[in-house]
Amino acid sequence: MTARRAGRPLRVGNASGFYGDRFDAMRDMLTGGELDVLTGDYLAELTMLILGRDRLKDPSAGYARTFLRQLEETLGLAHERGVRIVTNAGGLAPAGLADAVRALADRLGIAVRVAHVEGDDLGPRYPDSLTAHAYLGGFGIAACLRAGADVVVTGRVTDAALVTGPAAAHFDWAPTDHDRLAGAVVAGHVLECGTQATGGNYAFFREGHRDVRRPGFPLAELHADGSSVITKHPGTGGFVDVGTVTAQLLYETGGARYAGPDVTARLDTVRLTQDGPDRVRIDGVRGEAPPPDLKVGRTRIGGFRNEVVFVLTGLDVEAKAALVRGQMAEALATPAPQEVRWDLVRTDRPDASTQETASALLRLVVRDPDRAVVGRALSGAAVELALASYPGFHVLAPPGRGAPYGVFEAAYVPRDEVDHVAVLADGRRVPVPPATDTLGLADVPPPPLPEPPPDGPVRRAPLGLVAGARSGDKGGDANVGVWVRSEAAWRWLAHTLTVDRFRELIPESGAFPVTRHVLSRLRALNFVVEGLLGAGVASQHRFDPQAKALGEWLRARHLDIPEDLL
């Protein structure tokens, strides 16, 4: 993979967006059309915690075993077709997975060169953490590919590094090729979540005659100047258009500067153009030198959690909830858990035709560092109410003994304190030097807004009739990207959906800092709600712990919309 091949695009596909994604995607991608590189993203904040707990039980664990099973069915296909495989499935043990891949290849009689990347594990630096891993860039991957690796296994790299590494190797980019690298980062961000770029989880999935029951996985045709075309294999389900790519670009991002270890990509420079059926061109992306520090993702056990969901059926729901809360008060007082949360979810309907639709849910969640405080005593108190509480008493499931929950925390270290190393197929260890050209992050000044729309008749209606949304999590923060598809709608959205209006529509955000970022080229607003998710997904702080549906809630809220947009 060298500059000799730089005259044609590099076709990079994705076969996994998370640990647990569609098992046969790797085979589908290898047989569905032409590819040069197939990537798989298996890591997320929650995954690192899961792998850390696996490693506590079994020191040889720590990588995504699903990948190995997928590879058993497809390694021969990839080898025959000359497709290189790059994956972060190595998790906490990239060397261990690389050895397992070699053993698999030997057993199958397939001659492949397996390399891996290490240096991300900073556990000794953070002894109180279950896991602590720096987010590495793509140049370790590039070094492995330049040395002829067929399979490259990494631990915690950025999701986009799975694309920037192959692109840097293929086009012989240098670490200072910021615009080109930024283009690859944007393409990598679009690919990283698999079918979310091809119609999966898409706000306007009902439009037209699009079949999104089984979307195909995406691929990018990358060019030497950093531009790309996002597409999919012919005949696969789903679709690729400017909307699906916009939605994924906004997912789990913040402001105009999208920082990573290789480059800071300027999302406010991204230009999207429909380039034919199921083809979206990405160009114009500008890049800046990366920050001087690398992000470190740390996970730890935060304490213990227990939950009881009481079912309240029929009449007097509020009174029934008050009764059971009063009855549980003594158990919650001695000793008092560190956190007690009650939520009454009114799923009931009047004069309901089924018992389930006549029922509301009263959810009790408790947390404490001491398992005993949230364990059997609390569970026993809830169970003892079975014949002595509100009429119709029952719970969704028996309460447990208290289960551990995790906490995700971000830290930052100077990049020259992280030993980024490419371990080649022949065992040679090649240090990957840190970027010397760095730039501290600063907010981009807000761009000028478009002219406000003219006055005219309005109608009370859901925001989602006009706007799409995609939401997600970064640690304890939630982001909601909102976009529209016409200039007229953009003029209205940019002036209407302010931070204050967002807080009105999403009352849960009222207690937290909310920042609005304007991305005019995408006709999009990106809202970041700091702290909404508590200590992150593993802490299960709220009903939707990863804010996956926060955007759909926003789209369901009603406000005055110009009739000409409806």
Residue 540: the pLDDT is 72
Strands 218-222 and 228-232: antiparallel
DSSP 8-state assignment for residue 467: -
Residue 398: the pLDDT is 83
- Rounded to 10°, the helix 94-108/65-81 angle is 50
Q: Which of 549, 552, 541 has its CA nearest to residue 46?
A: 541
Which pLDDT band, with edges at 50, 70 and 90, does 400 fall under? confident
Is 118 in contact with 423 (CB distance < 8 Å)? yes
- Position 2 pLDDT exceeds 70: no
Is 200 in contact with 239 (CB distance < 8 Å)? no
- Which two structure tokens, joined as six digits, stand for 317? 């729901």
Q: Which of 160, 164, 176, 113 has its CA nearest to residue 139?
A: 164
Is 84 in contact with 151 (CB distance < 8 Å)? yes
- Position 49 pLDDT exceeds 50: yes
- Position 560 pLDDT exceeds 60: yes
Mean confidence (pLDDT) of the chain: 94
DSSP β-bridge partners for residue 394:
311
DSSP sequence for 165-231: HHHHHHHT--TT-HHHHHHHHHHHHHHTTGGGGTTTT-TTTTSTT---SSBPPEEEEE-TTS-EEEE
Strands 151-153 and 84-87: parallel
Residue 397: the pLDDT is 85
DSSP 8-state assignment for residue 391: T
Cβ-proximal residues to 92 (8 Å cutoff; 6+ apart), any chain: 48, 51, 52, 55, 62, 63, 121, 131, 133, 155
Is 418 in contact with 122 (CB distance < 8 Å)? yes
Q: What is the pLDDT of residues 513-532, one digit of tens each?
A: 999 999 999 999 999 999 99
Alpha-carbon gap, residue 40 to 446, rounded angstroms: 35
Residue 355: the pLDDT is 96
Share of the chain above pLDDT 70, in %: 98
Residue 433: the pLDDT is 96
Q: What is the pLDDT of residues 181-225, one digit of tens each?
A: 999 999 999 999 999 999 999 999 998 778 899 999 999 999 999
DSSP β-bridge partners for residue 481:
470, 526
- Which two structure tokens, joined as six digits, stand for 508? 């849960």
For the chain, what are the domain ranges? 3-297+410-431, 301-406, 458-565
Distances (CA, A) of 535 to 46, 270, 531, 562: 11, 32, 8, 40
| pLDDT mean over 58-86 | 95
Q: What is the pLDDT of residues 78-112, one digit of tens each?
A: 999 999 999 999 999 999 999 999 999 999 999 99
Strands 10-14 and 218-222: antiparallel
Which pLDDT band, with edges at 50, 70 and 90, does 3 fall under? very low
- Report whether the peptide linkage leading into residue 335 is cis, meaning its omega lies within 30 degrees of zero: yes
Q: Which of 564, 563, 552, 457 has its CA nearest to residue 505?
A: 552
DSSP β-bridge partners for residue 10:
222
Is 366 in contact with 340 (CB distance < 8 Å)? yes
Alpha-carbon gap, residue 544 to 551, rounded angstroms: 11
Residue 544: the pLDDT is 82
- Position 261 pLDDT exceeds 70: yes
Alpha-carbon gap, residue 201 to 542, rounded angstroms: 21
Q: What is the pLDDT of residues 339-375, one digit of tens each?
A: 999 999 999 999 999 999 999 999 999 999 999 999 8
Helix, coil or strand: residue 406? strand
Which pLDDT band, with edges at 50, 70 and 90, does 542 fall under? confident
Cβ-proximal residues to 72 (8 Å cutoff; 6+ apart), any chain: 104, 108
Is 476 in contact with 536 (CB distance < 8 Å)? yes
Q: What is the pLDDT of residues 347-356, one digit of tens each?
A: 999 999 999 9
Does domain 301-406 fall under CATH 3.30.70.360? My reply is: yes
Helix, coil or strand: residue 328? helix
| pLDDT mean over 143-152 | 98
Alpha-carbon gap, residue 371 to 560, rounded angstroms: 49
Provide φ and ψ at 502, rounded to 5°: -60, -45
**Angle at Cα 35 formed by Cα 33 and Cα 38, nearest 5°?**
120
